Amino acid sequence: MEILKNNIEKICSFYVSDWHLVTMLLPYINKQINEKANIITVLEKDIQENIITLLNKLNLKNKEEILKINWKKTNGLKYSELKKQIKKVDEKSKLNIVFINGNKSYIDITNKNIEKILKEENKKYKEINIKIINCFEVGDFNTNISNILSEHNKILNTSGERGICEVFEGYA
């Protein structure tokens, strides 16, 4: 993403179950909605029921806004569907967040397609800040974690966004 590097921040997240993912995402999303972020999801698995169940147990200010986000399975591998999702990037929002969840292959292909879409629409997205948050299920990848970390700027965990070195001591 040579042209867009200044506008794009890539964050990775690791989770052990759908419940862990939802527990980690909800407080973060609630905070981002408070800051007027635009949230887009590209999900390999449907997590809507988990979101609804947990929202009913939490006292979050932005429940209605969180429920308006698409938490259902998205056919992100279809380029045309992904392009529709990315076109929802809001030029008026100071921050747009794209959550991608799935196996490593799904995440990699989705990221490549997002990069292609953003390059095609470079003029439109040139001044827009976008965070791409790639959520990896720990049991689904057998590649070296350092490869994943090297492709990202930060990590998102239950305590929020953190520097990679803060979470993985000795990582350089």
For 145-163, write each residue's pLDDT tens digit: 888 899 999 999 988 999 9
Tell whether 161 is covered by a domain.
Answer: no
Tens of pLDDT, residues 99-134: 999 888 889 999 998 888 888 777 666 667 889 999
Range of the domain at 23: 11-95+103-129
Q: What would the two tokens of residue 92 be? A: 């008026």
Tell whether 167 is covered by a domain.
Answer: no
State the total domains in the chain.
1
Higher pLDDT: 2 or 171? It is 171
Tell whether 28 is covered by a domain.
Answer: yes
Please enumerate in sequence order all residues whose Cβ is within 8 A of that of 157, keeping only pairs 6 or more positions apart, or say none: 13, 14, 24, 167
For residue 163, the one-letter residue type is G
Distance between CA atoms of 19 and 51, rounded to whole angstroms? Answer: 9
**Mean of pLDDT values over 82-94:** 72
Per-residue confidence (pLDDT) for residue 3, from 0 to 100: 43
Tell whether 148 is covered by a domain.
Answer: no
Name the residue among 99, 102, 103, 104 with its Cα closest to residue 114. 99
Per-residue confidence (pLDDT) for residue 1, from 0 to 100: 41
Residue 55 CA: distances (Å) to CA of 23, 50, 97, 101, 109: 10, 8, 20, 19, 31
Higher pLDDT: 143 or 158? It is 158
Tell whether 141 is covered by a domain.
Answer: no
Tell whether 140 is covered by a domain.
Answer: no
Distance between CA atoms of 147 and 96, rounded to whole angstroms? Answer: 25
